[in-house]
Amino acid sequence: MAPWRDCKAWQDAGLVLSTTSNEACKMFDAALTQYVTWTNDSSLGGIEGSLSKLQAADPNFTMGQVITHGLTLIGTGSSVRLDRKLDDAIKKMSALSQSQPLTEREKLHVAALELFADGELPKACDTWDQILQNHPTDLLALKFAHDTYFYLGRQIQMRDSIARVYPHWTQDLPLSSYLKGMYSFGLMETNCFDRAEKLAYEALAINQTDAWSVHTIAHVNEMKADLKSGLEFMKQTENNWKGSDMLACHNYWHWALYFIEKGDYEAALTIYDTHIAPRCQTNGTMLDVVDNCSMLYRLQLEGVNVGDRWKGVNHLTKKHASDHVLIFNDVHILMASLGAKDQKTTHELLTTLQELVQAPGEAYELKLGPRLSLPLLQAFVEFENGNYDKTVELLFPIRYQVVEIGGSNAQRDVFAQMLIHAALNCKSKANQKLARCLLIERDELRPNAPMTERLMRKAFAVHTLG
């Protein structure tokens, strides 16, 4: 690892940081590097240790506050609405930034974070992209925009935000190979699979521990239902990416998806119990929480008894029931409360969201409420209660809008699976026919996928019996 960059190194890179503390600049670099590489460097005490060293070196370093509070916000595990401490911190950062002679770039960073904190996610992305027009190598702006476009389900923007700056990222720049991984992910989400795979492999040739590039390849194999390649690749590369503690759980989740697709539920549960659940219980990050919920829900759709595993997940998710930072998180929190038969948390989640969408203000996610999130959440409740025709009635009309709640194509596939299962179980002949149409469509897009074949056998058996 190259030495962390001091004040002069940042200035030479054309990314001036308004502080006289070399230590603060170095810890800013260390935190940014760990964020981009999905790792916690234990020699620094991880990201948290790096940020506290940064804070100690210069408590009034505005960009230090930007990265500190930005990482909290981008983690989506807390909101300024409910977390007084976070709200105060953002206000202090804003006041501090106004009392200092900052560069235009730094001022825009503060503005972007204020917008994100207020729920104005699309405007925050516009602001980061504005920074990148003049400073294409500003990695913090690039990564914050990348993650937020992902939360918004804006796949083309996620890809193009990197495409616009990609030629500026020459090999001599620190972390330049990670741009290939980020770009490859945007390409994969917009179905440019060959180019995505090529770039991801280029990134891995430079650095085999790049867990995000591994993740792109896991997605490509998932989208093509190429289980053989997917399983081999994860097994061969496991030792390279399992140390990326922030992404390892998610990569194990991808590995387990291949087994669910195959119908090898025991193997999927083994990965869940050995790698996915323990990491989630230790870290409790929203990404790990979402993976746990999604995995158990998929297994349940397949008719697998997951035992009391929901209780362990619900224990983590219920404290987020009133957050409503992202609809995507809400749906997964609901999966856990339904799975654990925790009616109190289900009620809390639904009623607090219904109240908030009445007066969403500028919060983008809350504005999606009446049109998208409320019907989506209600569909899960109806499915849980065995009201399959009602589930289809709620879910089918919004199936092409669900992308707006964010996540990846692979993550949102759980909604497509639920719709098919609901339609298969409907009393109405029209909905049973819809199930067959959806399965034919699925088979066209992912030829030879074993899950589709299993469901088709069931659908056509229903048809014959009917």
What are 201-227's pLDDT values in tens digits?
999 999 999 999 999 999 999 999 999
3-state secondary structure of 394: helix
What band does 461 get if pLDDT is binned at 50, 70 and 90?
confident
What band does 460 get if pLDDT is binned at 50, 70 and 90?
confident
Say whether pLDDT at 423 is over 70.
yes
Say whether pLDDT at 347 is over 90.
yes
Domain boundaries, the chain: 1-170, 175-267
Mean pLDDT of the chain: 96
Structure pTM?
A: 0.96
What are 22-42's pLDDT values in tens digits?
999 999 999 999 999 999 999
- Per-residue model confidence (pLDDT) at position 463: 56
| Domain 175-267 architecture | Alpha Horseshoe (1.25)
Share of the chain above pLDDT 70, in %: 98
What band does 401 get if pLDDT is binned at 50, 70 and 90?
very high
What are 148-193's pLDDT values in tens digits?
999 999 999 999 999 999 999 999 999 999 999 999 999 999 999 9
DSSP 389: H
What are 110-122's pLDDT values in tens digits?
999 999 999 999 9
| Domain 1-170 architecture | Alpha Horseshoe (1.25)
| CA 449 to each of CA 60, 329, 417, 442: distance values in angstroms, whole numbers, following the listed order | 55, 28, 13, 9
3-state secondary structure of 195: helix
Is the separation of the CB atoms in 68 and 51 below 8 Å? yes
- Kindly state the tokens that stand for 343: 């009616």
- Kindly state the tokens that stand for 128: 């980061």
Q: What gap in Å lies between CA 127 and CA 107, rounded to an integer?
A: 10
- Cβ count within 10 A of residue 49: 18
What are 32-90's pLDDT values in tens digits?
999 999 999 999 999 999 999 999 999 999 999 999 999 999 999 998 999 999 999 99
Between CA 328 and CA 110, with CA 288 as vertex, the angle to 5 degrees is 65
Say whether pLDDT at 1 is over 60.
no
What are 365-400's pLDDT values in tens digits?
999 999 999 999 999 999 999 999 999 999 999 999
| CA 452 to each of CA 226, 262, 273: distance values in angstroms, whole numbers, following the listed order | 13, 10, 26
Rounded to an integer, the average pLDDT of 406-420 is: 97
Helix runs in 306-449, H state only: 309-317, 327-339, 343-358, 364-367, 374-384, 388-395, 409-424, 429-445
Say whether pLDDT at 466 is over 60.
no
- Kindly state the tokens that stand for 142: 């690039």
- Per-residue model confidence (pLDDT) at position 3: 85
What band does 257 get if pLDDT is binned at 50, 70 and 90?
very high
Q: What gap in Å lies between CA 282 and CA 311, rounded to an integer?
A: 16
Closest CA to 424 of 391, 448, 401: 391
What are 260-304's pLDDT values in tens digits?
999 999 999 999 999 999 999 998 899 999 999 999 999 999 999
**Fold: same for 1-170 and 175-267:** yes
- Per-residue model confidence (pLDDT) at position 464: 56
